[in-house]
Structure 1
Amino acid sequence: MTDATTDAPGKVTGGRTAQLQHTGLRHGWTTGACATAATTAAYTALLTGEFPDPVTITLPKGQTPAFALAAEDLRDGEGEGEGEGEGEGEGNGEGGGRGGRSAMAGIVKDAGDDPDVTHGALIRSTVRILPPGSGVVFRAGPGVGTVTRPGLPLDVGEPAINPVPRQMIRDHVAGVAARYGGTGDVEVEVSVDHGAEIARSTWNPRLGILGGISILGTTGIVVPYSCSAWIDSIRRGVDVARAAGRRHVAGCTGSTSEKVAVAVHGLPEDALLDMGDFAGAVLKYIRRHPVDRLTVAGGFAKLSKLAAGHLDLHSGRSQVDKGFLAELARHGGAGEELAAAVASANTGLEALRLCEAAGVPLGDLVAATAREEALAVLRGAPVAVDVICIDRAGTIVGRAEPAGPRGPHGRG
C-alpha cells in the first residue's frame, strides 16, 4: 500500500505512514525481526562457513532492513548427530541432529524511541541441521518463554515464538537453503540474554508463559510510543482525511485490523487512522470534527476493553475483564457453567473460543457494546459508527453496524 502524499505547495499529506512519520519518533525492530535476522545469518554460516554481516532480511510489508551481528559462533559439534556429512566449516556441510554442526548469531534489539523493555536485549538464534523431511523445528532457548496455558495462538508446550515470526523465519530459512543448496530442515533455537529477568516486567507470567519473553511482531517494525505525539498524529490524520473530502474514516488498532477495514469498506489510504491504543483520542476529536461515518476496527481483546468503558486500550493501563465478558456471554445465552469458564479464561481469545464453540456470539456482543461506548463518547455528534472485531489471524469475529442490535447495556 502506498501513501497518499504529495509535495505540491499547499497540499495536505495523508495516509497512515504520514501519520506515523508525524510523531517525529524513530521506529525500531521487533524481537521477531531480530530473531529472523539472527537465524538467517546462522543458517547461512552453516551452509557457507561465513556469517553475513550485516545481514539483510525482508519484512512482511517488503522493507529490507540490515542488522549488524553482535555475536557469532560456528561449531563443528561432537559427532552426535543423526545424519551424515557434518562438514569441515565450508561448503554446505549439512549434518544432522543436535550433536552435529551448529551456528549461532546474535543481534541486539533496537526498539527506536519506543520505551520497550526488550530494547538492548541480545536476541540469539542457534541453528542445527536436521534430517531431511524434518522441516523447521522451533526450540525455546534460555530467556525465551514456554506456553503453559491455553488461550494463546500457540499450543501448550510450544516455545513462545509467535506465528508471524515463525513464518518469517521459515521463509528466510527456505531462501537461504535455495541460495546455498541446503534442504531447509533445521532446528532453530531462539534465546534472549537475561530474558527471564526481562519477562518479569511483562504480562508473560500472568499469561502462563514461563521462563522468558515472547518473540513477537506482525510487521517486524516497532512503532514508537508517545502519548502526546501519537494523539497529535491522530488529530492530524482526521484533519487530512476531512481536507481530502473523506466522509468515512477508520480508526484501527494495528496493521491487521487496518487491512480488514480496507477489505470490508474499500477505504483509501488517507481515510485510515492509526488509532493504536488511543480510542478516546479518536472519538473525542471526531466529536468536535465530525465525519459521516467512523469504523472502529481492532483485536477482540482490545475492543473488549472499549466495550467495558476504557478509552485507553494499552495493556499497562487497562486489562481484559473476563468477568465483564462472562456477563456479556450470559446476555448472549450462555449458561452458568460457560459463564464461569469465560470468567476464568486465561485470555480474551480463549473466552471467545469457548463461546464460539457453544454458539454464543460473544464477538458480536463485544462489538455492539463497544459501539455503544463509542456513541456515548461522541455525545450525539452526527457520526454513524460501526465496529469490527478480529482475531489475531485477521478473521472477523464480531460486527456491529450503525443500525445493528444494541448490546446488553442498551446505550447509544
Structure 2
Amino acid sequence: MIINSLKRFGITTGAAASAAAKAAVIGLLNKEKRSTVVIPTPIGLRLEIPVEKVEIQNEIACAEVKKFSGDNPDILDGLVIRCCVKLNENNEIVIVGGKGVGKVTRSGLKATMGEMAISPTVKDMIINAIREVTDKGIQILIEVPNGESLAENTLNKMVGIVGGISILGTTGIETPISDEDYLEHIKCELNVIKQSYDFVVIAPGNSAAKYASELFDSTSIIKVGDRIGDSIKLASSLFKKIILAGLPAKLLKVYAGIFNTHYSQGDARLESLTHASVLAGLPYDVLIKISNALSVEEAFTYMTKEQRRKVMKIVAEKILSRIKSFNDDINFCVIIFDYDGESLSRVGC
C-alpha cells in the first residue's frame, strides 16, 4: 500500500507563538536576528520554524512567525503571530494577549472567563521554549495583526471568544487529517496494530488518545481525527473488538448520527446534550442553562459530576447502538472521558 508522501503537516497557532517568543527573546538578550528557531513540543518532537521578522529597539524585541497549516484547509494559514518581549523584574515568565487575540467571555473553556484565549498548554510551550534561552524573567505580549477580522470567519464567537483568534494546540503540530488520503494512513496504522493486538482503540483526537493511553497500551490506539465512522468500518474488517474512546463534544455528534465530525458535516452537540439531559431527568433550570450554552464545556459547568455521568451513560449507550449497526458481530465498547481525563461512562466494555 502506498501513501502519498507529499502531504504536508503544519504548525498550530501555539507553536507559531512559541517560535515568535523564542526568537524575540534571543533578539532581546543576544541582539541576534534569527531566521529560524527550534522549539520543544508537548509530544517530545522539536520543530524548526521559520521566523519572518525580528525587530530590536532599546529594551524591547519583537518577532513575527507565520502560521503554516500544511495541507489542511484552514483560514488561518499564513496568519502572522507577533510576540514582543522585555525583561521582567523577577524571574517569572508572564504571558499576555494583545490586539487580535480573543478574550474568553463564557465559562467552560480552557482559559478562564475574562482572560485572553491562550490555552494552558500553549503557555507551557512558550515557557519551555524561553527557558532554553534564559532563566531571567520575561514579559511576553502576543499579538495577531489580522486576528480580529479573521475571527469573524471562525467559530470563536459561537463558543464565547470575542475580539480575535485563539492561541491553541495540544501538540504543536497540525496533521492533515481532513484529507481523503488520510484514510489510507488509517488503513496502514490499523494493519500495524493488528500484528500485536486483537483489539483497537479508536480515539478522535490528541486528548482522547492521551487519556485512553492511561487505560490501554499506547500502541493499540489510533488517532482518527474527524473520520470516526470510516475508521470504525475499516477496523471492523480486521478486529473483533473495537473501543471508541473520546471526549464529549465529538461523541455528542456521533450520538446524533454524525460520523464525520468535521464542522462542515454538521453540528448537533448542544442539541444532543440537551436531548440526553432530558432523558436523564435533569432539573428544568439546568436544562435551560445547557440549551443556552455556547459550548459543551460551558454546559458541563452547570452540571454536577453525577449528572454528567448519568447523561454520558445515555450518550454512550446510544452511540453503542449506532456503531453496532456497522457490524453486529463486533464486540464494541464506548468510553467517554471528562475534560480532566476521568472516565465518565464505559458501555459495552
Same topology, TM > 0.5: yes
Q: Deviations over 1:235-261 (max 9, x none)?
A: 33333433x153100111122222322
4+ long deviations beyond 4 Å: 21-24
After superposition, residues 1-20 of structure 1 pair within 5 angstroms as none
Q: Give the corresponding residue for 2:202.
A: 251
Q: Give the corresponding residue for 1:409.
A: none
Match of 1:217 among 169, 182, 185: 169
Answer yes or no: is the 8 Å Cα contact 2:19–2:38 preserved in 1: yes
Q: Give the corresponding residue for 1:27.
A: 9
Q: Mark the CA change 1:324 to 1:65 in structure 2 (over 3 Å): closer, same or farther.
A: closer
Alignment partner of 1:172 is 2:129: yes
Match of 2:102 among 127, 138, 145: 145
**Root mean square deviation, CA, Å:** 2.2
Alignment partner of 1:195 is 2:147: yes
Q: Give the corresponding residue for 1:57.
A: 39
Return the alpha-carbon distance in structure 1 between the equivalents of residues 70 and 196 of structure 2: 34
Q: Give the corresponding residue for 1:302.
A: 250
Q: Deviations over 1:194-248 (max 9, x none)?
A: 1122212210121221111111111100101444212232233333433x15310
Return the alpha-carbon distance in structure 2 between the equivalents of residues 250 and 358 of structure 1: 26
Q: CA deviation at 1:129?
A: 2.3
Answer yes or no: is the 8 Å Cα contact 2:28–2:60 preserved in 1: yes
More strand by share: 2
Answer yes or no: is the 8 Å Cα contact 2:242–2:330 preserved in 1: yes
Alignment partner of 1:334 is 2:282: yes
Answer yes or no: is the 8 Å Cα contact 1:140–1:159 preserved in 2: yes
Return the alpha-carbon distance in structure 2 between the equivalents of residues 172 and 156 of structure 1: 26
The size of the alignment, in residue pairs, is 348
Q: CA deviation at 1:61?
A: 1.8
Q: Give the corresponding residue for 2:90.
A: 132
Alignment partner of 1:386 is 2:337: no
Q: Deviations over 1:54-113 (max 9, x none)?
A: 21111112222222221111122xxxxxxxxxxxxxxxxxxxxxxxx2111001122111
Q: Give the corresponding residue for 2:81.
A: 123
Alignment partner of 1:279 is 2:237: no
Return the alpha-carbon distance in structure 1 between the equivalents of residues 126 and 291 of structure 2: 36
Work out the percentage of aligned pairs sharing the same amino acid: 28
Answer yes or no: is the 8 Å Cα contact 1:106–1:125 preserved in 2: yes
Q: Deviations over 1:31-67 (max 9, x none)?
A: 1011001101112222222233321111112222222
Structure 1 stretch displaced more, 160-169 or 53-62:
53-62
Alignment partner of 1:107 is 2:65: yes
Q: Deviations over 1:153-187 (max 9, x none)?
A: 11122111112111111222233223xxx2x2x32
Q: Give the corresponding residue for 1:43.
A: 25
Structure 1 stretch displaced more, 140-149 or 214-223:
140-149
Q: CA deviation at 1:151?
A: 2.0
Q: What are the ranges of 5 or more consecutive residues in structure 1 without an aligned counterpart?
A: 1-11, 13-18, 77-100, 404-412
SS at match of 1:273: strand
Q: Give the corresponding residue for 2:189.
A: 237
Answer yes or no: is the 8 Å Cα contact 1:23–1:232 preserved in 2: no
Answer yes or no: is the 8 Å Cα contact 1:23–1:233 preserved in 2: no
Answer yes or no: is the 8 Å Cα contact 1:367–1:398 preserved in 2: no
- The residue type paired with residue 25 of structure 1 is K
Q: Could you state the TM-score of these two structures normalised by the residue count of structure 2?
A: 0.92
Which structure's CA Rg is the greater one? 1
Q: What are the ranges of 5 or more consecutive residues in structure 2 without an aligned counterpart?
A: none
Q: Mark the CA change 1:334 to 1:118 in structure 2 (over 3 Å): closer, same or farther.
A: same
Q: CA deviation at 1:149?
A: 1.5
After superposition, residues 91-102 of structure 1 pair within 5 angstroms as 101-102=59-60
